[in-house]
A and B are shown apart, each in its own frame.
Chain A
Amino acid sequence: MQTFDLEAEGLRALNSALHAQASTTNQTVWEILNPKGSHAIAVGLDAPIEVTIKGSTGYYCAGMNKQATVHVHGSTGPGTAENMMSGTVIVEGDASQYAGATGNGGTLIIKGNASSRCGISMKGIDIIVHGSIGHMSAFMAQSGNLVVCGDAGEALGDSLYEARLFVRGSVKSLGADCIEKEMRAEHLAILEDLLERGGCDAKASEFKRYGSARKLYNFNIDNAY
């Protein structure tokens, strides 16, 4: 295992070392000490490595991730796993605003709560939140899945495209064009798989599904200002 003291060696050295790992690297396990809320830890990784961060991070942790597994033993600041392409990011604590924003693929697991704008403009990422999420989550979400074991804040799924939203608890309010939809067998199967991947012991049958009413897809003159 490679151990890296971020406080002693600095962010640029850390990210350079992680970026230098090829897909055939033997240095597959990394542990980062003393993150102390620093920004941009383990961003832009593109190798099948496992990175464990021992503590809380600042902005953009594990942003643009490809292939790697990043496991944060703490909470994360804004923009966690933003624009992730593939791989897995696990946050043991809470994640601040816009976690998983614009994510194209991969899996983001948040074991605590996520703040506002979780999964905003997501494009294929799967986000599994053990706790609750804040307002304006999944705004303009295009594809992928957002699973929330707790509650959702105001304006969930505003102007949603084709992402699937599964919420176990209450939803404070739905955003424009977001509606509750029938949970069919195919959705239960997808959700069961997501819950298992996310390490949640919740039952799929306890969730409700939300999605796009598809009423904003075509221009309607009656809606013009």
Chain B
Amino acid sequence: MEKYLVLAYTSRFHELREAPAMCGIVGLFLKDQSLEPKLGEMLADMLITMTDRGPDSAGIAIYTAHSAGKAKLTVQADDAIASFEKLDDALCKALRGSVSMSVKDSHAVLEIQAEQMDEARAYLTANHPNVRIMSRGENLEIYKEVGLPKDVAKRFDIRKMSGSHGIGHTRMATESAVTTLGAHPFNTGIDQCLVHNGSLSNHNSLRRKLRRAGVHIETENDSEVGAAYLTWKMQNGATLGEALESSLTDLDGFFTFVVGTKDGFGVVRDPIACKPAVMAETDQYVAFGSEYRALVNLPGIETARIWEPEPATVYFWSHNTASTDHEEAA
């Protein structure tokens, strides 16, 4: 490149030197079951520490215990009192099965028979347009709203939640409106979720492509396109690891993704890797933070292995395998 062009190119330098802002993400994957009752508390504290990276909206996804044969739909409504009134009765009647509902502020968790998941979603979409589905799965619950992490954590009593792993996000909106649906985490499939720090440049063309392929995308948000892309890949036979690897080719822009699955937790950064990421691992947990600050109060952090995930490399941990190796992206 000519020096003349290089001088113009220095504007890239400012992009590459991003300020300590534009979203904060955290993740915590427990290896030690004795910490599970404290998952909500630890995750909420990590997210609250990241507040000044993005004060617009916040959300947390937690993998909680589940009852055999049951599944959970986490739903949200702006007019929660009216919308949730007798919602369980209505759903119970429609499904002719057992439904239990627990309401937390603007969200409610509907526990249904696992095999009635699709029917329940179809019923809610057709008959209760004010009720939006935040997540579905056997273990996954997603809570997200506009506001500061501390307020969101308080509204949903996140500190009292126990679970095996979870991810969180605090948002500084850059690509679309500050709304509940624009907040993270995004539900990408049964028991799957994603948080994103960065901005995707090709989200409009990719959204058109995905919509043509029949993928439902609700908002103009770039991260939702990233989430929908991974869902679409996996619906077409890719594993999560493969979907994350192909995201490195198909998504243009800056991104650090942290994803959750029923029993796993993954991280991938784009090849430029200007969005910050720090990880810590001990015998008790694997933790992710946009900054080291988010990790400082975790137990045993002084002796944890701490590193920055490599660019264009998929990392994945699972409760099903003891391996903590990462796979190199092609």
Given contacts A159-B1, A216-B2, A217-B3, contact A98 B16 (CB under 8 A): yes
Chain B: CB-nearest residue to A56 = B292
Q: A116-B273, A120-B16, A223-B2 are in contact. List 18 more A-B contacts (CB 8 A).
A: A36-B293, A56-B306, A58-B293, A77-B291, A78-B20, A94-B307, A97-B273, A98-B16, A116-B311, A120-B13, A135-B311, A140-B13, A159-B1, A176-B1, A216-B3, A217-B3, A219-B2, A219-B4
* A117 vs B2: C-alpha distance when bound (angstroms): 20
B10 touching A140, Cβ below 8 Å: yes
A75 touching B3, Cβ below 8 Å: no
Chain B, 293-321, CB within 8 A of any chain A CB: 293-296, 306-308, 311
B293 touching A101, Cβ below 8 Å: no
Which of B3, B5, B274 is in CB contact (< 8 Å) with A97? B274
A96 touching B308, Cβ below 8 Å: yes
Chain B, 145-197, CB within 8 A of any chain A CB: none
Chain A: CB-nearest residue to B295 = A37
* A121 vs B294: C-alpha distance when bound (angstroms): 30
Given contacts A58-B293, A59-B20, A77-B292, contact A96 B276 (CB under 8 A): yes
Q: Which residues of B contact A224 (CB under 8 A)?
A: 2
* A135 vs B308: C-alpha distance when bound (angstroms): 13
Task: Tell me, yes or no, whether A79 is within 8 Å of chain B by CB.
Answer: yes
CB distance from A64 to the nearest CB of B (A): 14
Given contacts A58-B291, A98-B16, A121-B13, contact A216 B276 (CB under 8 A): no
* A96 vs B2: C-alpha distance when bound (angstroms): 29
Task: Tell me, yes or no, whether B322 is within 8 Å of chain A by CB.
Answer: no
Q: Which residues of A contact B3 (CB under 8 A)?
A: 159, 216-219
* A120 vs B9: C-alpha distance when bound (angstroms): 13
Interface string of B13-25 (1 = CB under 8 A from A): 1001100100000
B292 touching A75, Cβ below 8 Å: yes
Task: Tell me, yes or no, whether B6 is within 8 Å of chain A by CB.
Answer: yes
Chain A: CB-nearest residue to B293 = A37
Task: Tell me, yes or no, whether A25 is within 8 Å of chain B by CB.
Answer: no
CB distance from B208 to the nearest CB of A (A): 28
Chain A, 192-225, CB within 8 A of any chain B CB: 216-220, 223-225
Q: Which residues of B contact A79 (CB under 8 A)?
A: 17
Q: Which residues of A contact B291 (CB under 8 A)?
A: 37, 58-59, 77
Q: Which residues of A contact B5 (CB under 8 A)?
A: 225
Considering only CB atoms and an 8 Å cut-off, how many residues of chain A contact the other chain? Answer: 37
Q: Which of A78, A120, A176 has the most CB of B within 10 A?
A: A78
Q: Which residues of B contact A140 (CB under 8 A)?
A: 6, 10, 13
Which B positions have Cβ atoms within 8 angstroms of A?
A: 1-6, 9-10, 13, 16-17, 20, 273-274, 276, 278, 291-296, 306-308, 311
Q: Which residues of B contact A39 (CB under 8 A)?
A: 20
Q: Which residues of B contact A121 (CB under 8 A)?
A: 10, 13
B17 touching A101, Cβ below 8 Å: yes
What are 10 inter-chain pairs, A to B, with CB distance below 8 A?
A58-B20, A59-B291, A78-B17, A98-B16, A115-B308, A116-B274, A120-B16, A159-B3, A216-B2, A219-B4
Task: Tell me, yes or no, whether A21 is within 8 Å of chain B by CB.
Answer: no
Q: Which residues of A contact B2 (CB under 8 A)?
A: 216, 219-220, 223-224
Interface string of A159-190 (1 = CB under 8 A from B): 10000000000000000110000000000000
B306 touching A75, Cβ below 8 Å: yes
Chain B: CB-nearest residue to A224 = B2
Q: Which residues of A contact B274 (CB under 8 A)?
A: 97, 116
Task: Tell me, yes or no, whether A38 is within 8 Å of chain B by CB.
Answer: yes
* A208 vs B9: C-alpha distance when bound (angstroms): 28
* A109 vs B274: C-alpha distance when bound (angstroms): 22
A216 touching B17, Cβ below 8 Å: no
CB distance from A214 to the nearest CB of B (A): 10
CB distance from B100 to the nearest CB of A (A): 42
CB distance from B12 to the nearest CB of A (A): 9
* A140 vs B17: C-alpha distance when bound (angstroms): 14
Q: Which residues of A contact B1 (CB under 8 A)?
A: 159, 176-177, 216, 223
Which 3 pairs between the two chains have the least Cβ-Cβ distance? A37-B293, A37-B292, A36-B296
Chain A: CB-nearest residue to B1 = A176
Q: Which residues of B contact A37 (CB under 8 A)?
A: 291-296
Q: Which residues of B contact A223 (CB under 8 A)?
A: 1-2
